[in-house]
Amino acid sequence: MRFTVAIDGPAASGKGTIGRAVAAHFGFAHLDTGLLYRAVGAKAGPEGDPVAAARDLVPEDLHRDDLRSAGAGQAASRVAAIPEVRAALVAFQRSFARREGGAVLDGRDIGTVICPDAEVKLYVIASDGVRARRRWLELSAKGDPITEDEVLADLKARDRRDAEREAAPMRPAKDAVVLDTTEMTIEVAVARALAEVEAKLA
């Protein structure tokens, strides 16, 4: 069976947590596509060639210890705006999406560009303040000294860059189901997502 769940939305909206939960529930493979761009940004570094890094990306690059840092997030947003980088990673993502056994991909352009024919499309959002709080708690738990105000500024900058870029701007697909997790518990958000998938599988 080939079945694709596309989950998009801004950083710290909950899409990654929802994506992992959906994949685990149905036994689907899961790909956090943001890690691809974080890995490219980290591999290229501030002075390197991100296009070459994207073309040379290997699975091992997705397991670097520094990919969840705030700096890696900013680097990902910068390299994701480069059309040649996105083109280099499209084939990998599309192949993953149509693998046998089902797949869940979360990112920013899955439902609009990578998998426009996905069986289920979700667009996960939350207020800026809630997202900043979530990401700050996550980073603080890992010992990152960043402040909550700095996280909020970082998220807003990334959102603006991702929404305004010419190559695959972040926006919901016309047929995506929008989940606003601002006041939802993760259990409720996951249950809503599971229900959408169940309905399509039925």
Q: Is 129 labelled as part of a ligand binding site? A: no
Where are any strands of DSSP class E within the chain? 4-8, 29-32, 103-107, 120-125, 177-180
Tokens of 104: 């869940």
**Cα(22)–Cα(3) distance, rounded to whole angstroms?**
12
Q: Is 73 labelled as part of a ligand binding site? A: no
Q: Is 9 labelled as part of a ligand binding site? A: yes
Tell me if 138 sits within 8 A of 37, measured CB to CB: no
Q: Is 15 labelled as part of a ligand binding site? A: yes
Q: Is 13 labelled as part of a ligand binding site? A: yes
Q: Name, in order, each residue with C-beta under 8 angstroms of 20's C-beta and a sequence gap of 6 or more.
A: 30, 104
Sheet holding 177-180, edge to edge: 29-32, 103-107, 4-8, 120-125, 177-180
Q: Is 33 labelled as part of a ligand binding site? A: no
Binding residues: 9-17
Binding residues for ATP: 9-17
